[in-house]
Amino acid sequence: MSDKTYPPSDEFVANAHVDAAKYKEMYAASIEDPSAFWREQGKRLDWIKPYTKVDNVSFEPGAISIKWYEDGTLNASANCIDRHLETRGDQTAIVWEPDDPEADARHITYRELHEQTCRLANVLKDMGVKKGDRVVLYMPMIPEAAYAMLACARIGAIHSVVFAGFSPDALGARINGSGARVLITADEALRGGRKTALKSNADAALLHCDDRVQCLVVKHTGGQTTWTARDHDCKALMAEASTDCPPEEMSAEDPLFVLYTSGSTGQPKGVVHTTGGYLVYVAMTHELVFDYHDGDIFWCTADVGWVTGHSYIVYGPLANGATTLMFEGVPTYPDASRFWQVCEKHKVNQFYTAPTAIRALMGQGDEFVTKCDLSSLKLLGTVGEPINPEAWNWYNEVVGKGTRPIVDTWWQTENGGHLITPLPGAIATKPGSATLPFFGVQPAILDPQTGKEITTTEAEGVLCIKNSWPAQMRTVYGDHERFEKTYFADYPGYYFSGDGCRRDADGYYWVTGRVDDVINVSGHRMGTAEVESALVAHPKVAEAAVVGYPHNIKGQGIYAYVTLMSGEEPSDELRRELEQWVRTEIGPIAKPDLLQWAPNLPKTRSGKIMRRILRKIAEDDYGSLGDTSTLADPSVVDGLIEHRLNKG
């Protein structure tokens, strides 16, 4: 960790929405009188019926309830599209850059976005979708993904986007979990020149779903797919549909979307975000954290299957009438300069990506960057995992030429938008620190042993938030008890993030990573319990334990210890079979990087697996195993150490 600070340039500050004095003043106001502060910020949106109430929140154990702007009504799609038509109907809303650099990019104006969204909304209505119904999206990074999200919002349906890298099983579970009757997908996704058969995956998923589920298929690559009676050609239906679809009047607290995310136990949970507070918060953070100015081209490289894509490709930018870039491909296709070529081609002003991508590109050499004209860039951002100072420095020097502020934004699916982040014109950055809280956010560091808040400036412990912010998740879909238990039970009165954190003498926050059994692989959240349950579902596996270990590019890799059923013999073939099994059960992102055969797992006398020890062995740090005397059979550990796979 470095304590060197990087203040923004005078030139940047002069142009910025928020400078240091304004940050202090606004932050103080947001904490002293949150209702007044957020009452004012709510005016960023167009309301059908204005709110009179602002916040109505209880973090009381057993009575967790979070409401913002609850008596106001609005429509998210109207806020992202219709209200811009008069002044910027011909402005580009979405720049779409295809996977193939030779293919034509598309510039979709706000007027076109309106037309396409209305058409798709009418198609959904014709299929019987009504306010409050759920619609699952399993989509490539194509404009139709944004149309589909906004079309749902327009008619009051709740979208649930499933990342296109998830397997049929994972997709099926999410369709069933949400009770959706419509799935929107495409024939194939195209990434890095390779096709993924989304429609075939969808067919496999739907084998385990209600017969009444209908499937809207966007013909994207034209790849051959099998069509059945429940399938509909999305583009053909859109072409026939009316371009007029009045937006549904929604309560601020009506759900806008559900997004599944991994936790430390059990299967992924459906994070529920509602309409008013979420949209206020993502619009505000998009404008201030990225210092977005009218006319800028904003690029967030995330996939719409993750929360970052929801908040900072679609809802935040479009609520602000911005131009948002959507990229179908991958950073290394056709070569490692693709990101920078796209920046040059479209004159990108703000560029927002994940540390794992930065590390991967850094390893390819500087020429891929330096040969491109990056003079349009004004700001760089990162999200998804802690950024190591080497990667930060490379991003700063080679990509940013040492003159662009870097915003390292800490937040989670549950948060809806940035919680701890530099405001680029106000806060000097330190490589590896997300710096200071956004307006209205009161972080707290708690001692995990005592559960008490540490009030000294310098502190280390678990990261909690003391108060609510408008984009906070409201509940776990269909399971409010799980919501309370996951986020409010361990530290009553606080929202518990699951992250460890240090606060330095300047009050800067340094998020160190998860303190629970969630790992962060290439910026993707993965529950170790999910991978374990996939492994033990294989008939030859008796037991499995999964932990994370440090990985140069991915941040963390997946290390699996597998105990076979008696009579089964370990082999390379079986290892490959198990890897393939996990890909099929969850998806390629869950495939173990290292899989060690474990005749036995280290357990306490009461039968609990001691993960602490397994983590140490996976990290190749077995010299500091600590106390192993509580193990039922300490000799198990020696065997595991001897055959460890991550030898330093």
Annotated binding site for CoA: 191-194, 308, 522, 583
**122, 96 in Cβ contact below 8 A?**
no
Does 408 engage in binding with ligand WTA (CB under 6 A)? yes
SS3 for 95-151 is EEECCCCCCCCEEEEHHHHHHHHHHHHHHHHHCCCCCCCEEEEECCCCHHHHHHHHH
Number of neighbouring beta carbons within 10 Å of residue 401:
13
Query: Residues at the annotated binding site for ATP?
Result: 384-386, 408-413, 499, 514, 525
What 3-state class would DSSP assign to 504?
coil
Query: The tokens of 259 are what?
Result: 């997004």
DSSP per-residue codes, 455-492? -SSSEEEEEEESS--TT---EETT-HHHHHHHHHSSST
CB of 499 to ligand WTA, least distance (A): 5
Q: What is the distance between the alpha carbons of residues 351 and 404, in angstroms, rounded to a whole number?
A: 11
CB of 355 to ligand WTA, least distance (A): 8
CB of 308 to ligand WTA, least distance (A): 5
CB of 278 to ligand WTA, least distance (A): 14
Q: What is the distance between the alpha carbons of residues 160 and 170, in angstroms, rounded to a whole number?
A: 13
Number of neighbouring beta carbons within 10 Å of residue 232:
17
Q: Which is nearer to ligand WTA, 38 or 411 (CB)?
A: 411
CB of 134 to ligand WTA, least distance (A): 20
Does 187 engage in binding with ligand WTA (CB under 6 A)? no
Separation in Å, CA 209 to CA 226, 321, 534: 18, 38, 20
Nearest to 99 by CA among 219, 218, 221: 221
What 3-state class would DSSP assign to 47?
coil
Q: Which is nearer to ligand WTA, 149 or 636 (CB)?
A: 149
CB of 418 to ligand WTA, least distance (A): 8
**514, 499 in Cβ contact below 8 A?**
yes
Does 275 engage in binding with ligand WTA (CB under 6 A)? no
Which of the residues 474 through 513 are near ligand WTA (CB under 6 A)? 497-499, 511, 513
Binds ligand WTA by CB under 6 A, chosen from 386, 400, 431, 437: 386
What 3-state class would DSSP assign to 299?
strand
Strands 92-97 and 323-327: parallel
Does 412 engage in binding with ligand WTA (CB under 6 A)? yes
Binds ligand WTA by CB under 6 A, chosen from 163, 299, 395, 411: 411
Q: Which residues pair with 65 in a beta bridge?
A: 58
Backbone torsion region of residue 598, taken as left when φ is above 0, otherwise alpha when ψ lies between -120 and 50, otherwise beta: beta
Separation in Å, CA 360 to CA 300, 354, 410, 553: 17, 10, 21, 6
Strands 495-503 and 509-514: antiparallel
When CB distances to ligand WTA are compared, the closest residue is: 413
Query: The tokens of 37 are what?
Result: 């502060």
Per CB under 6 A, which region of 178-186, 323-331, 411-419, 621-629 contacts ligand WTA?
Answer: 411-419
CB of 61 to ligand WTA, least distance (A): 22
Binds ligand WTA by CB under 6 A, chosen from 255, 384, 431, 437: 384
**488, 353 in Cβ contact below 8 A?**
no
Q: What is the distance between the alpha carbons of residues 312 and 282, in angstroms, rounded to a whole number?
A: 7
Query: Residues at the annotated binding site?
Result: 191-194, 308, 384-386, 408-413, 499, 514, 522, 525, 536, 538, 541, 583
Which of the residues 206 through 265 are near ligand WTA (CB under 6 A)? 261
Q: What is the distance between the alpha carbons of residues 332 and 301, in angstroms, rounded to a whole number?
A: 13
Does 383 engage in binding with ligand WTA (CB under 6 A)? yes
Per CB under 6 A, which region of 101-109, 272-280, 402-410, 439-447 contacts ligand WTA?
Answer: 402-410
Separation in Å, CA 39 to CA 249, 271, 473: 20, 25, 19
Q: Which is nearer to ligand WTA, 475 or 497 (CB)?
A: 497
CB of 437 to ligand WTA, least distance (A): 13
CB of 509 to ligand WTA, least distance (A): 9
CB of 637 to ligand WTA, least distance (A): 29
Q: For ligand WTA, how many residues bind (rule: CB under 6 A)? A: 23
Binds ligand WTA by CB under 6 A, chosen from 133, 253, 296, 385: 385
DSSP per-residue codes, 521-555? ETTEEEEHHHHHHHHHTSTTEEEEEEEEEEETTTE
CB of 514 to ligand WTA, least distance (A): 5
Binds ligand WTA by CB under 6 A, chosen from 409, 468, 563, 596: 409
Binds ligand WTA by CB under 6 A, chosen from 69, 278, 339, 410: 410
Binds ligand WTA by CB under 6 A, chosen from 338, 514, 554, 644: 514
Read off φ and ψ for residue 117, nearest 5 degrees: -65, -45
Per CB under 6 A, which region of 241-249, 403-411, 486-494, 568-576 contacts ligand WTA?
Answer: 403-411
Q: Which residue has the tokens 């075939």?
A: 200
Which of the residues 517 through 576 are near ligand WTA (CB under 6 A)? 520, 525
Query: Residues at the annotated binding site for Mg(2+)?
Result: 536, 538, 541
Q: Which is nearer to ligand WTA, 149 or 511 (CB)?
A: 511
Does 281 engage in binding with ligand WTA (CB under 6 A)? no
Does 416 engage in binding with ligand WTA (CB under 6 A)? no
CB of 384 to ligand WTA, least distance (A): 5
Does 270 engage in binding with ligand WTA (CB under 6 A)? no
Does 413 engage in binding with ligand WTA (CB under 6 A)? yes
Per CB under 6 A, which region of 285-293, 358-366, 408-416, 579-587 contacts ligand WTA?
Answer: 408-416
Q: Which is nearer to ligand WTA, 156 or 309 (CB)?
A: 309
Q: What is the dihedral angle through the alpha carbons of 385, 389, 394, 400, rounded to the nearest 10 degrees?
A: 80
CB of 65 to ligand WTA, least distance (A): 22
- DSSP class of residue 623 equals G
Q: Which residues bind ligand WTA (CB under 6 A)?
A: 261, 306-308, 383-386, 408-413, 434, 497-499, 511, 513-514, 520, 525
